[in-house]
Amino acid sequence: MEHFTIATVAERSDDFRRVLWTGERTQLVIMTIPPGGEIGEEVHAGIDQILTFVSGTAEARVAGETKAVEAGDLVVVPAGTKHNFVNTGPNPLVLYTVYGPPDHADGAVHRTKEEADAAEESGEDEPPAS
């Protein structure tokens, strides 16, 4: 059994992205976006994503719509949907997200967005083979 006190685990991580658990069909990832930072506009073909916000404030940009989000909010991003989340507050934006199927390499840790982007471009951040 895997067990996480997810808000506590997420708030203790300063990493931009940290894969906590990878299963055959889903993946649990925590993220910390610095003030003024963003996840970056992206589309996950064939991957649904559910983001739950632990602390901070952000602007959710999903499928051409924009909405303010804060701790306790949850946003669903269906596969193939363009999205971005921008930290709008003075503190880090902390969230956890579930991908289905997995989107990142099992156990991946990226300290910064730049490190995450480089891993994706090089192919080092590929999800496990199904």
Q: Which CATH class is domain 13-122?
A: mainly beta
Q: What is the mean pLDDT of residues 18-28?
A: 96
pLDDT tens-digit series, residues 60-108: 999 999 999 999 999 999 999 999 999 999 999 999 999 999 999 999 9
Residue 42 to residues 9, 49, 77, 99: CA-CA distances in angstroms?
25, 12, 11, 14
> Is it the case that residue 130 has pLDDT exceeding 80?
no
pLDDT at 123 over 60: yes
Q: What is the pLDDT of residue 128?
A: 66
Q: Which pLDDT score is estimated for 81?
A: 98
Cα 99 to chain centroid, rounded: 9
Closest CA to 124 of 49, 110, 6: 110
